[in-house]
């Protein structure tokens, strides 16, 4: 009989009248890799934040290695040898990797200059032991996304953590980096560490975990040994129904009509640039752009939508677009929304001068609220309340609003940047369906995604960006995960 490292017993958590967790119970075997899956808003992240001391439960109890615990803060959880890597890294970018580790260690804030040799030596030993090697003297802003994730995990290991919680750990990694991460996590498991992974990627759950817990609407609806289940069963448990099989497209690409064209485009943003970019998108075509983040995708977007953000005088070449251009920003909270403002205000961002929503300098607030409510109903954005603060929506419903705002305008060109980042399988199914619908109605779509499965599912062609240059192009008949991942890593 396996020993439990963690056990939830009837844990509940409320935020006002909202029940985030309701009587959840499950256990995690010591020295195992355990998947936590569920739709956005299902309560999985809340449960993990309770375990890490960020929230206090309103009912039930948690046992760690058989002993009841009550954490008032993450400091208590870390003292119990529990560490967490959040989906959005918590790193001070201007500082070195070493500084970032020392800053979070007790009593080290005033001992950064000079760095303690013994601590650096120990960190290098830990990094080499577990396969998380990186240059500790490099500034975080100069590290790749994969290296930054290694740094976050190294921070946890430097605290001698025995239980690791990883929130969407593969969201921004190449296939090769994912494989390296999985190899290192299996090594940690062999050392006796217990690992919990929150993820939406069921393929990864099936390949990595020993067991999986499924959340839906704040409750645990399934606990399965991974060997006894499959992706389809897990997906059905997550959404409460079977997923729809996408229909074969009934339209063909209109190669006589180019709706978006980049001709020899060069541009610079900060210390990064794109060079000699040539991309054509036709009506009823989806062109995917693959690449690890930081290889020029953001500059490509801004060269079309936000030229003022680029380095003055750096933009050359020509960009031609036909008709209305709408976009999904790659980071909805940073570039696309006002989180503390009501949903209806966010819905009209960029549309506030349309006669439908404004009369002169005055907004038609009643009409805006009515139109927002209709759109929320059509796109099933929950709760269907346009007066609610945007940041009160779950991540999946936030992204559905981003999609609804763009596609409800019936654009001729859609720039879809990371359209399903951090959203659940049900929302992914919905967003993919809406993109296909827009394509079939005549739009040309430039799809920028770090998810190879998404690119291969939706795209008619895929081009690969590496260090600001287009290094490969694949037709649908040539799609191959290994070849794409190799190109994304800069290898031929």
Q: How many CB atoms lie within 10 A of CB 166?
A: 25
Report the pLDDT value the prediction gives residue 301, as an integer from 0 to 100.
Answer: 92
pLDDT at 115 over 60: no
* Residue at 246 is within a domain: no
Same domain, 162 and 259: no
Among 209, 239, 269, identify where a domain stops. 239
Does any domain span residue 165? yes
- 223, 288: one domain: no
Based on the domain organization, do 234 and 302 belong to the same domain?
Answer: no
Rounded to two decimals, the pTM is 0.73
Question: Is residue 247 a part of any domain in this protein?
Answer: no
Same-domain check for residues 73 and 209? yes
Does the pLDDT at position 18 exceed 80? Answer: no
Query: What gap in Å lies between CA 268 and CA 483, rounded to an integer?
Result: 28
Domain housing 143:
4-239
Task: Give me the helix-helix angle, 395-407 and 425-440, nearest 10°.
Answer: 10
Q: Is residue 151 in a domain?
A: yes
Domain final residue pick, 213, 239, 265:
239
Give the confidence band of 107 by pLDDT, cuts at 50, 70, 90.
very low
Structural domain includes residue 331: yes
Tallying the residues shown for the chain, one arrives at 492
Mean pLDDT of all residues belonging to the chain = 88
- The DSSP code for 342 is B
Both 233 and 286 in a single domain?
no
- Domain shared by 365 and 466, yes or no: yes
* Cα distance between residue 319 and residue 277, in whole Å: 10
Reported confidence tier of residue 352, pLDDT bands at 50, 70, 90: confident
Residue-wise pLDDT tens digits, 321-342 = 999 999 988 878 778 899 999 9
- Is 26 inside any structural domain? yes
Q: Tell whether 345 and 421 lie within a shared domain.
A: yes
CATH at residue 115? 3.40.50.300
> Are 214 and 269 members of one domain?
no
Please give the Cα distance from 287 to 455 (Å, whole number): 9
Q: Do residues 210 and 65 both lie within one domain? A: yes
Does 267 lie in the same domain as 235? Answer: no
In a domain, 216, yes or no: yes
Tell me, what's the pLDDT at 9? 96
Q: Write the CB contacts of 349 (distance below 8 Å, at least 6 apart in sequence).
A: 336, 337, 338, 405
3-state secondary structure 415-484: EEECCCCCCCHHHHHHHHHHHHHHHHCCCEEEEECCCHHHHHHHCCEEEEEECCEEEEEEEHHHCCHHHH
Q: Which of 207, 239, 271 is the C-terminal boundary of a domain?
A: 239
Is the domain of 124 the same as that of 265? no
pLDDT for position 287: 98
Domain count for the chain: 2
Burial of 484 (C-beta count, 10 Å sphere; 0-12/13-18/19+): buried
Q: Which of the two residues, 149 and 260, has the higher pLDDT score?
A: 260
């Amino acid at each position: 009989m396996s020993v439990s490292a963690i056990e939830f017993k009837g844990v509940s958590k409320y935020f006002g009248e909202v029940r985030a967790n309701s009587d959840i119970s499950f256990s995690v075997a010591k020295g195992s890799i355990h998947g936590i899956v569920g739709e956005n808003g299902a309560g999985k992240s809340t449960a993990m934040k309770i375990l890490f001391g960020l929230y206090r439960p309103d009912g039930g109890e948690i046992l760690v290695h058989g002993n009841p615990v009550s954490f008032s803060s993450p400091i208590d959880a870390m003292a119990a040898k529990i560490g967490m890597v959040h989906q959005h890294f918590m790193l001070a970018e201007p500082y070195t990797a070493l500084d970032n580790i020392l800053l979070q260690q007790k009593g080290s804030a005033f001992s950064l200059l000079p760095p303690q040799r013994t601590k650096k030596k120990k960190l290098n030993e830990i990094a080499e032991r577990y396969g998380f090697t990186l240059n500790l003297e490099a500034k975080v802003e100069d590290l790749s996304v994969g290296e930054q994730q290694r740094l976050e995990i190294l921070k946890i290991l430097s605290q001698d953590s025995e239980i690791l919680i990883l929130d969407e750990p593969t969201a921004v990694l190449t296939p090769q980096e994912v494989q390296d991460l999985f190899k290192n996590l299996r090594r940690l498991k062999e050392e006796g560490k217990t690992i919990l992974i929150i993820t939406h990627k069921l393929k990864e759950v099936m390949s990595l975990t020993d067991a999986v817990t499924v959340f839906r609407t704040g409750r645990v609806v399934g606990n399965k040994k991974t060997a006894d289940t499959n992706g389809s069963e897990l997906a059905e448990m997550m959404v409460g129904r079977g997923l729809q099989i996408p229909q074969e497209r009934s339209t063909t690409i209109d190669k006589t009509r180019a709706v978006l064209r980049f001709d020899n485009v060069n541009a610079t943003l900060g210390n990064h640039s794109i060079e000699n970019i040539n991309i054509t998108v036709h009506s009823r075509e989806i062109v995917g752009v693959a690449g690890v983040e930081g290889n020029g995708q953001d500059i490509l977007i801004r060269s079309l939508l936000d030229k003022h953000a680029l380095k003055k005088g750096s933009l050359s070449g020509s960009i031609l677009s036909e008709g209305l251009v709408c976009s999904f920003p790659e980071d909805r909270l940073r570039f696309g929304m006002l989180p503390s403002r009501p949903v209806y205000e966010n819905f009209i961002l960029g549309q506030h001068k349309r006669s439908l929503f404004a009369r002169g300098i005055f907004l038609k607030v009643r009409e805006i609220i009515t139109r927002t409510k209709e759109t929320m109903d059509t796109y099933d954005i929950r709760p269907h309340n346009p007066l609610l603060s945007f940041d009160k929506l779950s991540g999946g419903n936030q992204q559905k609003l981003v999609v609804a705002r763009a596609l409800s305008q019936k654009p001729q060109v859609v720039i879809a940047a990371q359209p399903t980042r951090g959203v659940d399988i049900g929302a992914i199914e919905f967003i993919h369906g809406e993109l296909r619908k827009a394509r079939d109605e005549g739009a040309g779509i430039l799809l920028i995604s770090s998810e190879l499965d998404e690119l291969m599912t939706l795209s008619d062609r895929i081009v690969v960006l590496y260090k600001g240059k287009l290094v490969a192009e694949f037709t649908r008949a040539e799609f191959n995960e290994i070849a794409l991942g190799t190109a994304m890593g800069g290898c031929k």
